[in-house]
Structure 1
Amino acid sequence: MVDRGLLYREWKQNQVVILLSIVFLVLANPLSIVNTYLSYQGCFDRLDPQYCDFIVNYSISNLIDLNWVPGVILAVCFLGMERSKGTMDFILSLPYNRSHIFQTKFWLGSFVIVLSQLIGFLLAWLLILVYSPVHVYYFEHSSVGVIVISFMTYSLVMAAGALTGNAFAQLLTAFSAAILPYLMIALPIINLEIVFNFHIYEFFSSIKGYYELENKFMYLFPFVYVGNDWIFDNGFILLIPAILSILFYLIGYISFKKHPSERNGYFFIWKRLDRPVQILVIIFGILGFGLFGYSAGHSIIGYIFGMIFGAVVGFFVSYFSIYKKTKN
């Protein structure tokens, strides 16, 4: 599944990025504990000691909230930058099949992301034992959740890299996929509310558990996990990013394996995606700018002008992004 020769090649090619990712992911969790402890010590200089308590609370934003960032960087270096620089052609010319190439890249990054954070979790746990805070909130739930979410983010960007022909296209596709449920469901519903002058919640507000179901629905959006609101919910919520990770891995693996024709510099590797995606971009441009035009003046005229402007913007953005070849 993972070839040693390819593994060595990836290590030499991305050594600096891999080492920096390991250092950040290992230290992020324990440094959050140290920072909280230093803030506790500084409290004695400002307030009476009876008002100073050493409390570790992971529901408050801290350094591990950024642990998804190294996954994005690694995925771009492994696929997007290789395609942008043209070095992917050299890798594909080596005596390895495409399955081995993708598996090696994917699992090397996965190993870095997961193992580094597990070490960081262990170091943070030891610091908690040493410092003995009065209360510790959401430590295990947050630490494990961030590992799952960072792996999901890495899988998403790797899948986008398997479908696209350069680093910019990879990042844009990954971001679009992260908000795709909103674009496909919420954006059309909001536009229907404007056109027909109704509110969707009026039809479902009487249904028992509607608002709870609506909140749970938001967890289908990968970008929701960038924040830490998920910490306050049931631990089973993390099954969603875990399942999404598997889905993104399969999409990336199948795409990399089944689309052998390289289109150097083009947005998508698979040419058949060009037209459907362009149509979607234009539609989202119409709906998005229409909504913006309506919100600016709360008038149908503004809504119509916004839709026209969105159609023009969507066409040109999609045309120059998808159909124009970038230089390697």
Structure 2
Amino acid sequence: MIPRGLLYTEWKKNQWLFLLSGILLIAANPFMVYNNYSTYQGCLNNQVLQDCEFTLSYTNGSLLSFSWVVSVVIAVCLMGLERTKGTMDALLSMPYSRGQIFQTKFWLGAAVIVVSQAIGYGAASLLISLLKPSHTYDFDHFSIGMIVISFMAYALLMAAGALTGHIFAQLLTAFTVTVLPFLLIGLPAANLEVVFHLSVGEAFSYFEGYIRTQLFLFLTPIGYVFNNWIRERYFILFISAMMGFIFYLIGYVSFLKHPNERNGRFFLWRKLDRPVQILVIAISVLGFGVISYSITLSMFGYIAGVIIGAVIGFLITYFTIYRKTKHM
């Protein structure tokens, strides 16, 4: 249960953030409908132009496709900014449990994101019924989809914020998760081809077919940044909804169990430092090896790239994971 006192405290502390975010999300969808209608009216008033038609197409996306950016901003302000400024310590000293604090933060921000977009969806539906466009394409699918995707992005950033000690770590962790499946599959496959002249597709035909399907794209959060999901079946959104729920659970457990004493460190949980460092170095080695080979087309260049990648990976992890960031 969310305590009313804590809910009021969080609302007052981030009141302008919530209000501005809510207004932006509410207005975005109706504004698109009105903007298309204004363009149609301008066409009618221009006697030179012919074949004017008022249509609404969401098939290729629009500025609304970036509604998830608002989710990122809210999550960063609720978690990463407080970690960086050190105000999270004061909040944790209040007579509330860690679980209550996370639930209040998470669901207050989620309510602003989901309810605001739902109101905008309703307002846009009302405008469409009043203005009566001749054709409307993918309006419901796109509008509902952006609510689900925005929630997924918000849950991902909140989980990253619960794992890390400052804004940069939160953003970098979230971004890494969005592209990690591509790195874990694509880089090893590219290195196998360079070293052994082995095409993964030739060795594992099923694997190649799976990679080529759109389904693999939608199993990664970054796949929803682009507009391809709009032209897919509705069940694709269940995947993003499930990922959002998983990120929520990760964030909740992390906030509940991990210590806050490492505030300012990249990861609050010390046991993550070494495995992540090894993973980053491995990705850096594989990535620089392939890049160097593509430039030099020689094994000497590949080996040089591997060495450079190892050094760069070590330096990156040393100055991010093992160096504490001071409070703002």
User: How far apart are residue 260 of structure 1 and its match?
Assistant: 3.1
1:140 matched residue in structure 2 = 140
SS at match of 2:56: strand
Q: Which amino acid aligns with 2:226?
A: G
Residue pairs, 1:96-115, within 5 angstroms: 96-115=96-115
Q: For the residues of structure 2 that align with 1:154 and 1:55, how far apart are their CA atoms? A: 32
Q: What is the number of equivalent residue pairs in this alignment?
A: 327
Task: Give the partner amino acid of 1:22.
Answer: G
CA deviations over 1:206-250 (Å, ceiling 9, x no partner): x69936863211111101101111011111011111110111001
Paired residue secondary structure (1:235) = coil
Name the amino acid aligned to 1:96: Y
Percent of counterpart pairs with the same letter? 55
Give, as a single letter, the amino acid of the residue that structure 1 aligns with 2:317: S
Distance 1:298 1:48 in 2: 57
Q: Structure 2: any 5+ residue segments left out of the alignment? A: none
CA contact (8 A) 1:165 1:263 kept: yes
Letter in 2 for 1:251: I
When residues 10 and 53 of structure 1 are mapped into structure 2, their CA distance, relative to the original with a 3 A threshold, is same
C-alpha distance in 1 between matches for 2:10 and 2:245: 23
Letter in 2 for 1:307: V
Distance 1:233 1:69 in 2: 22
Partner of 1:243: 242
Deviating more after overlay: 11-20 vs 94-103: 11-20
In 1, Cα distance between equivalents of 2:201 and 2:214: 13
Structure-1 residue corresponding to 2:283:
284
Which runs of structure 2 are paired with 1:164-183 in the superposition (5 Å)?
A: 164-183=164-183
User: Aligned AA for 2:219?
Assistant: L
CA distance in 2, matches of 1:293, 1:144: 44
- Distance in 1 between residues matched to 2:151 and 2:84, nearest whole Å: 24
Q: Given the superposition, is the C-alpha separation of residues 44 and 291 from structure 1 closer, same or farther in structure 2, using an over 3 Å criterion?
A: farther
Structure 1 contact 149–225 (Cα < 8 Å) conserved: yes
How far apart, CA to CA, are the structure 2 residues paired with 1:134 and 1:65?
23
Residue matched to 1:325 = 324
* Range moving further from structure 2, 258-267 or 68-77: 258-267
Quote how far apart the aligned CAs of 1:202 are. Answer: 3.3
Report if aligned partners of 1:79, 1:161 keep a CA contact under 8 Å in 2: yes
Alignment check: 8 A CA contact 2:68 2:149 kept: yes
Equivalent in the alignment of 2:74: 74
Whichever residue aligns with residue 272 of structure 2, its letter is: L
How far does residue 306 in structure 1 lie from its aligned partner after superposition?
A: 1.7
One-letter amino acid matched to 1:30 = P
Shift of 1:48: 4.8
Shift in Å, 1:184: 1.6
Which residue of structure 2 aligns with residue 123 of structure 1?
Answer: 123
Quote how far apart the aligned CAs of 1:17 are: 1.1
Matches within 5 A, 1:53-92: 53-92=53-92
What is the deviation of 1:204? 5.3
Other structure's SS at 1:153 match? helix
1:38 CA displacement: 2.1
- Identify which range, 260-269 or 165-174, moves more after superposition: 260-269
| Cα distance in 1, alignment partners of residues 277 and 97 from structure 2 | 32
Which residue type is aligned with residue 283 of structure 1? A
For residues 66 and 86 of structure 1, the distance between their equivalents in structure 2, rounded to whole angstroms, comes to 30
CA distance in 1, matches of 2:18, 2:125: 24
Structure 1 match to 2:35: 35
Q: Note the alpha carbon deviations across 1:127-150, whole angstroms, 9 max, x for none.
A: 111221111000000111110000
Equivalent position SS for 2:326: coil
Q: In structure 2, how many angstroms separate the alpha carbons of the residues matched to 1:181 and 1:17?
A: 33
State the Cα deviation string for residues 100-152 of structure 1 (Å, max 9, x = none).
00000000011011100000000111111122111100000011111000000
TM-score normalised by L of structure 2? 0.95
Residue 130 and residue 49 in structure 1: after superposition, are their counterparts in 2 closer, same or farther (change >3 A)? Answer: farther
RMSD: 1.9
How far apart are 1:199 and its partner, in Å?
2.6
Aligned letter for 2:165?
G
In 1, Cα distance between the equivalents of 2:325 and 2:105?
Answer: 24
Q: Hey, what does 2:187 align to over in structure 1?
A: 187
* Distance in structure 1 (CA, Å) of the matches to 2:101 and 2:18: 18
**CA distance, structure 2, for counterparts of residue 91 and residue 111 of structure 1:** 21
Tell me how far 1:287 sits from its aligned partner: 1.1
Residue 219 of structure 2 contacts residue 239 of structure 2 at CA under 8 Å; is this kept in 1?
A: yes
Task: Mark the CA change 1:146 to 1:308 in structure 2 (over 3 Å): closer, same or farther.
Answer: same
SS for the counterpart of 1:136 is: strand
For structure 1, the residue ranges without an aligned partner over 5 or more in a row are: none
Q: Is the 8 A contact 1:29 1:63 kept in 2?
A: no
